[in-house]
Structure 1
Amino acid sequence: MRPYNVYTLALGSLTLSGVLHRASGSALTVYNVQGPLAVGSRTTTSDTATGTAVFDPSSGTYGGYAAYNPIVLAPPAVPSGLSTQYDLVLPGSAINVQGLSIPQSGSFLGFSVEMSVVTQVVGINASFLQVPFLNLMQLLAQRGGSVNIRVGGNTQDYAVEVDELTNNRGICVEKDTDDTRNPTQTPTLLFTPELLYMLSNASALVNINWWLGIPFNDTSNWRLEIAETGEAILGDRLLGYQVGNEPDLYAVHGHRAANYSAWDYFGEFGEIIEAIAADDAIPRRNNLIAPSVSGTWTPEEVWATGFLTSYDSSLGALAVEKYPDDNCAALYPSGGFGSAKDPQSVFPNYLNHTSGQLLVQPYLTSTALAQQKRKPFYMFETNTASCGGFPGVSDSFGAALWAADYALQMAYSNFSAANLHVGGLSDSYNPFIPPPTNESMFEGWTIGPVFYSVLAVAEALGSSNTFRVIDLNANNGSIYTPAYAIYENNSLARLALFNYVTDSSGASTVTANITIGGGRTGEQLSTPQYVKVKYLAAESVSVKENITWAGQTLGNRFAVDGRLKGSESVQTVQCSSSLGTCQVTVPAPGMALVFLSATAYQEVDPAPSSTATFPTTSVTNALVTVTVDPRILSTSNGNGSLVLAATDHSNRASRGANRGVALSIFISVITGFVFRRRVA
């Protein structure tokens, strides 16, 4: 195995880019956006020949990258009859609690990175890693112990490992756009072993573990190279291999015959096991992950084939994939998905506790079966909605509350891991996204609200791998104010309290009266003298920015470097010794993570000085700007009506709907390489 070498370098290039945001009478065509983007009840028009989306300012529709859509929805009205006071009387010992989950890890909520975008998110190659990505992962690893990431998705089934690529850009993955065999517009991916070295180098810096996928499109020629090189390069950092991504959709997508069934998948799975057994370059034979069905087949249909009995020794984990909804009609208007859904109409579906409960309910039989078989059960890919999510919903603070609640509901229901999907610029649901390549010289990353969910869940579950979760059915089962208790080493350690309501008046702030032991618990009263509280907070469930975790933020769009900004704010709540209660408030909207002991708090609250971050060591020339007399520019190129207000690259008019007029011209000259950093 070659040593881990980590460099940060700049690609030598000369770039001249002119971006013109025209006046309101014109239209702007944005390239490389798949299909039209639904905005409320309206959609953009689309050029079917090129697949581009068009922005027409006169209609108020947005056809830019979905990752930066400007849509802000209206929060639902305050529900009637909301009880703003409720009691929680909890046993201090897990011995006195029925229905606790299996032990869970702080790495429970991880990420699923679409294989086609891994070079945008993780790094260009083994020598160029994305610093914001490393910093974000470090935040999670320091709180939850480690981070688990799946690299795969639809693109993994059509991936081909090659010795080298001819792109001459140093990138370890590229799309074979000449291959048109895939009717779902999923391109064949070509990748080199450099991809695995890149993942390994990231793990050498941050405690990251990986899942990969073995291609499953060609049953006559199993391509096992990713397993061979994965074993050799990643070693213990490799958690396992997914075999078949959503096989229940293969027939619909044209990847198999129309009558393809769970029995056919059973047979093909057996064939790939035989191929792996005959391959001496794959030493581990017991880390396959299946069946990863998406809901068209139930897991029970797969189990009925004898799958678990026949392949028990090869299976490292069982898995499913499930999104609560889809936005496919907006992305593929001619794909037979019906009418596009209005994001405003579906928004309330994500703003209550019922959503997560309904999502896990179909899998409770399978999680119980997994426990009998001593296998972990994964939600291998999920997010707010498939086909990129809903603009205004998937990138809202409401989605952050939803994802944290959903994750804890899965933990309570004996899933062992769940992965939020990370796509590209055509997706609204990304936990994080780098800027478009042509803006990476002067823009930072953008954080999605659901990343804060992962941060909160990592702190809720900690790093001891002994945390057990229970849904408290709090506040008489109110769907707007759920609560969870979390026990560590059989002792009550933390509470997660939610409030889905948006109410700026303060009238919907909820107070939980917490008592530990005493009364009906059968234990002696043991309420602490005080508790510590961290808040996940924002002004409204609709907002996309100014979201804070314990008073800190990662920054607004195009301003994220992966480090928390601002001073941490942790509330100390004094408890009543006479009443034996602690009164913890939960703002509307918000989530409160309550630490019930000093030990529980110290475990996941690292001192800022102890958080290792990674500075950028690339050196580039400063941005060279061009100054032009506005009077000359306003009458140039036949645009007599164009009035230039500024020549500042920070003007972001193109990301909203006709918010201004600007001309930005930049020239960047990168002088060479600066490296190196070696990690043994």
Structure 2
Amino acid sequence: MLLPPALLALSAALLARAARGAVTVYGVQGALGVVTASGTPAYTSDTAAGTAVFDPATFAGPAAFNPVILAPPPPPPPGALSTDVLLQLPSSASDAQGFALSAPLAGPFLGFSIEMSIVNQVIGINSTYVQVPFLNLMALVAERSGGVHVRVGGNSQENATMVQSLPGGTVIAKAAVPGSATNTPDVFWSPELLYMLSNVSSLVDVKWYLGIPFNETTQLRLQIAEYGEAVLGQNILGFQVGNEPDLYVSHGHRPPGWNETNYFDEFGIVVDAVDGDTHIPMKGNLIGPSVSGTWTPEDIWNTGYIDAYASALGALAVEHYPDNNCAALYPDGGFGLPVNPQDVFANYLNHTSAQNLVARYVNSTSIAQSAGKPFLMFETNTASCGGFPGVSDSFGAALWGVDYAMQMAYANFSGALLHVGGQNNSNNPFTPPPTKMSFFEQWTVGPIFYSTLVVAEALGMSGASRVADLALNNGNIYTPGYGVWEDDQLARLVLLNFITDSSGASDYNVSFTLGGPQFGETSQVPPNITVKYLSAESVSVKENITWAGQTLGTRFQSDGTLQGEEQAVIIPCDQTTLQCVVSVPAPGAALVFLSDQALAESTPTTTQTFPTTAMTKTIKTASVAASVLATSNGDSGADRVSLSSTDKNGLTHANGASPFVNDALVATIASALLVMCIAV
């Protein structure tokens, strides 16, 4: 019989406890928050509505559900912003001499990185219990971009070990690592994990990145690649070798002095092992170096890495976050005073943020192109160490995500993955509810998830889109814009407005013409254009966000489907003045479709949804404290020193012994759970 989710979670906790004599509590700083007798959090989604500043000092719940509302930056003074923008664009990419267009973007661009230690919460419990909201969310992206790329890995992949089975048929179990600098747990995974991912791919066009453990290279564990290829086949995109190796010394994974040359040598050990493993038939799909910023990519290229391992590499990758909230999460971690989120909010609300983030990698994207390799941003988000409450989960983050993704596309990245951690992260694109609530129709979709929908529709699914930063409005940092040429024709525009101004004085109008003598083309405009808007009241809000009039709901109220009727605005173009005029609200983003074909390609005619067949919260269902399950990862602060945790605040074992999995122990726990299940 299928065990209830809480009981399955309990089995993982029991496994860790039996193995080393202690239950590891991941991630929640303080209590889970006030919970009513029915199991519903006492704070409600209404708390976060509106634009009023709200920062309760007493909130002690998971960061993913924090109610913090920050003050939006004030609008620029009158006259500082041109609200009437004239734009003349070549209709053909071949005539775009004044614009530096990207190379064609093949395949889905903006996807997700899911920490391995939380797959049982986010994706599913096993191959027969897959989270319906997760399927619905993936379908939304896949139907707009022709698929979605998802990585399962992160810090927790490094200590992952395969076991043949786990209690209740679940996919993973966790045990704390004594003395671990990052306190990332040992993850024990069963092949059921791969069958679950395969079942997801059979329902939605999802392809996967996985990670080969790299915590030590004297006894490699290649089962994730052996079983991964056997089970997932063509749905495997590649295997990461080393997650942020430039942080290994500070995390205690390697001795002091371990450097780029050592990484080069040890990567070669994995390459040789994979080449000699007959159970890994597909070669040439390893991914590295995945440095986070302590080392630059050039530090790795200078070792001869690309030439030496060209035949083994499927893609080159980096990981980077623009900031970190580590001082707040680790008061004794040597980070100084915590950052006030209000002080950094404005940093995300201008075009300079995206430009500076991407500029450091322009040389490497060029090197990757010369080598014929995709270049990936393998893990990113607004900030590491869980993000900033009120910033990472605001509408401003959604606008930032669009700008950042489009800037990466413009700079010849091949794709980017937004990281998903546990309930102690403010920056999650989506978060399951606390375990005392139902798993269905009570998810929380973060504002940054809307970025993936906008970018998917902007780039389309042809694999032939080319992007240019238009330096819109004389390069004004609050009103950036992009052009997307597809199959040589200008197909779409992406126009953003980072300003919050309810008066309407900071809305701006873009009047554009296609072609002109300077491009060797006849000036023209289409009969009409169609515009979809990403909208909210303020950059500060977390809810009441809409994409083309539809919403994914408020906190604890989403099943992963868009609610409401789609509202696309049709705007006639003036055939006399040869101008089309688009208004961009403050704040908001406008996606402009210049042809019916471009609109049709990006707009699903039907949306695939998935019903739930599982019943939760039945009478006498076993439960476990949500704080035990609130795992969280994604700490990628490039400058951090040794930390106490990445699975925040996990407890080390009292006896200091190494965790292990014992078949007899597994059988004992499974028998106990069977008795418990029969009893309820």
TM-score w.r.t. structure 1 length?
Answer: 0.83
Deviation, 1:170, is: 3.3
In structure 2, the CA distance between the partners of 1:493 and 1:220, relative to structure 1 (3 Å rule), is same
Deviation, 1:12, is: 9.2
Cα distance between partner residues in 1 of 2:342 and 2:182: 28
In structure 2, the CA distance between the partners of 1:621 and 1:122, relative to structure 1 (3 Å rule), is closer
Q: Are 1:292 and 1:320, in contact at CA under 8 Å, matched by a contact in 2? A: yes
Aligned residue in 2 for 1:82: 81
Aligned residue in 2 for 1:148: 149
Cα distance between partner residues in 2 of 1:58 and 1:480: 26
Cα displacement string for residues 441-484 of structure 1 (whole angstroms, at most 9, x for unaligned residues): 67610000000000110000111111000000000000000000
Aligned residue in 1 for 2:115: 114
Aligned residue in 2 for 1:417: 415
Aligned residue in 2 for 1:448: 446
Cα distance between partner residues in 2 of 1:351 and 1:365: 26
Cα distance between partner residues in 2 of 1:8 and 1:500: 48
Q: Are 1:105 and 1:144, in contact at CA under 8 Å, matched by a contact in 2? A: no
Q: Which amino acid aligns with 1:176?
A: A
Cα distance between partner residues in 1 of 2:136 and 2:325: 31
In structure 2, the CA distance between the partners of 1:129 and 1:8, relative to structure 1 (3 Å rule), is farther
Question: Secondary structure, in 3 states, of the residue corresponding to 1:438?
Answer: coil
In structure 2, the CA distance between the partners of 1:11 and 1:395, relative to structure 1 (3 Å rule), is closer
In structure 2, the CA distance between the partners of 1:341 and 1:128, relative to structure 1 (3 Å rule), is same
Q: Are 1:106 and 1:458, in contact at CA under 8 Å, matched by a contact in 2? A: no
Cα distance between partner residues in 2 of 1:78 and 1:201: 48
Aligned residue in 2 for 1:97: 96
Cα distance between partner residues in 2 of 1:86 and 1:122: 45
Q: Which amino acid aligns with 2:583?
A: T
Deviation, 1:402, is: 0.1
Deviation, 1:438, is: 2.1
Q: Which amino acid aligns with 1:612?
A: Q
Cα distance between partner residues in 1 of 2:258 and 2:472: 45
Cα distance between partner residues in 1 of 2:435 and 2:6: 14
Cα displacement string for residues 484-512 of structure 1 (whole angstroms, at most 9, x for unaligned residues): 00011000000000000000011111100
Aligned residue in 2 for 1:616: 612
Q: Which amino acid aligns with 2:70?
A: L
Question: Secondary structure, in 3 states, of the residue corresponding to 1:245?
Answer: coil
Aligned residue in 1 for 2:125: 124
Cα distance between partner residues in 1 of 2:430 and 2:8: 28
2:60 to 48, 59, 63: 63
Deviation, 1:121, is: 0.8
Cα distance between partner residues in 2 of 1:469 and 1:8: 48
Deviation, 1:169, is: 3.8
Q: Are 1:35 and 1:333, in contact at CA under 8 Å, matched by a contact in 2? A: no
Cα displacement string for residues 353-380 of structure 1 (whole angstroms, at most 9, x for unaligned residues): 0101000111111000000000000000
Cα distance between partner residues in 2 of 1:246 and 1:150: 15
Aligned residue in 1 for 2:344: 346
Task: Judge which range, 520-529 or 372-381, deviates more.
Answer: 520-529
Q: Are 1:106 and 1:457, in contact at CA under 8 Å, matched by a contact in 2? A: no
Cα distance between partner residues in 2 of 1:202 and 1:348: 38
Question: Secondary structure, in 3 states, of the residue corresponding to 2:583?
Answer: strand
Q: Are 1:8 and 1:618, in contact at CA under 8 Å, matched by a contact in 2? A: no
Cα distance between partner residues in 2 of 1:173 and 1:337: 33
Deviation, 1:75, is: 0.1
Aligned residue in 1 for 2:174: 175
In structure 2, the CA distance between the partners of 1:446 and 1:11, relative to structure 1 (3 Å rule), is closer
Question: Secondary structure, in 3 states, of the residue corresponding to 1:439?
Answer: coil
Aligned residue in 1 for 2:491: 493
Cα distance between partner residues in 2 of 1:248 and 1:375: 22
Q: Are 1:432 and 1:445, in contact at CA under 8 Å, matched by a contact in 2? A: yes
Q: Which amino acid aligns with 1:90?
A: L
Cα distance between partner residues in 2 of 1:315 and 1:8: 40
Q: Which amino acid aligns with 1:97?
A: A
Cα distance between partner residues in 2 of 1:139 and 1:581: 33
Task: Judge which range, 333-342 or 432-441, deviates more.
Answer: 432-441
Q: Which amino acid aligns with 1:132?
A: P
Does 1:551 find its partner at 2:552? no
Cα distance between partner residues in 1 of 2:111 and 2:617: 36
1:310 to 305, 308, 324: 308
Deviation, 1:120, is: 0.7
Deviation, 1:522, is: 2.2
In structure 2, the CA distance between the partners of 1:163 and 1:172, relative to structure 1 (3 Å rule), is same
Deviation, 1:35, is: 4.1
Cα distance between partner residues in 1 of 2:55 and 2:560: 37
Deviation, 1:671, is: 10
Cα distance between partner residues in 2 of 1:522 and 1:326: 48
Q: Which amino acid aligns with 1:505?
A: S
Aligned residue in 2 for 1:284: 282
Does 1:72 find its partner at 2:61? no
In structure 2, the CA distance between the partners of 1:550 and 1:330, relative to structure 1 (3 Å rule), is same
Q: Which amino acid aligns with 1:170?
A: G
Aligned residue in 2 for 1:604: 602
Q: Are 2:28 and 2:62, in contact at CA under 8 Å, matched by a contact in 1? A: no
Cα distance between partner residues in 2 of 1:272 and 1:518: 55
Cα distance between partner residues in 2 of 1:146 and 1:298: 31
Cα displacement string for residues 10-62 of structure 1 (whole angstroms, at most 9, x for unaligned residues): 569699xxxxxxxxxxxxxxx7544479xxxxxx9xxxxxxxxxxxx998232
Q: Are 2:8 and 2:125, in contact at CA under 8 Å, matched by a contact in 1? A: no
Q: Which amino acid aligns with 2:464?
A: T
Cα distance between partner residues in 1 of 2:317 and 2:152: 15
Cα distance between partner residues in 2 of 1:465 and 1:115: 29
In structure 2, the CA distance between the partners of 1:575 and 1:257, relative to structure 1 (3 Å rule), is same
Cα displacement string for residues 595-654 of structure 1 (whole angstroms, at most 9, x for unaligned residues): 0001101111122xx2111111124577799xxxxxxxxxxxxxxxxxxxxxxxxxxxxx
Q: Which amino acid aligns with 2:608?
A: A
Which runs of structure 2 are paired with 1:27-426 in the superposition (5 Å)? 32-35=26-29, 60-80=57-77, 81-98=80-97, 99-105=100-106, 107-165=108-166, 168-177=167-176, 179-426=177-424
Task: Judge which range, 491-500 or 266-275, deviates more.
Answer: 266-275
Deviation, 1:171, is: 2.0
In structure 2, the CA distance between the partners of 1:58 and 1:127, relative to structure 1 (3 Å rule), is closer
In structure 2, the CA distance between the partners of 1:275 and 1:613, relative to structure 1 (3 Å rule), is same
Q: Are 2:126 and 2:169, in contact at CA under 8 Å, matched by a contact in 1? A: yes
Deviation, 1:146, is: 0.1
In structure 2, the CA distance between the partners of 1:271 and 1:671, relative to structure 1 (3 Å rule), is closer
Task: Judge which range, 94-103 or 412-421, deviates more.
Answer: 94-103
Cα distance between partner residues in 1 of 2:91 and 2:128: 50
Q: Comparing both structures, which one devotes a greater share of its residues to strand?
A: 1
Percent identity of equivalent pairs: 57
Cα distance between partner residues in 2 of 1:368 and 1:620: 51
Aligned residue in 1 for 2:48: none
Q: Which amino acid aligns with 2:468?
A: I
Aligned residue in 2 for 1:479: 477
Cα distance between partner residues in 1 of 2:269 and 2:107: 36
Q: Are 1:244 and 1:291, in contact at CA under 8 Å, matched by a contact in 2? A: yes
Deviation, 1:394, is: 0.1
TM-score w.r.t. structure 2 length?
Answer: 0.83
Q: Which amino acid aligns with 2:156?
A: T
Deviation, 1:277, is: 1.6
Q: Are 1:75 and 1:502, in contact at CA under 8 Å, matched by a contact in 2? A: yes
Which runs of structure 2 are paired with 1:501-540 in the superposition (5 Å)? 501-540=499-538
Q: Are 2:105 and 2:463, in contact at CA under 8 Å, matched by a contact in 1? A: yes
Deviation, 1:440, is: 2.3
1:575 to 573, 576, 588: 573
Question: Secondary structure, in 3 states, of the residue corresponding to 2:361?
Answer: helix
Deviation, 1:521, is: 2.5
Deviation, 1:87, is: 1.1
Deviation, 1:132, is: 0.5
Aligned residue in 2 for 1:635: none
Question: Secondary structure, in 3 states, of the residue corresponding to 1:380?
Answer: strand
Aligned residue in 1 for 2:633: none
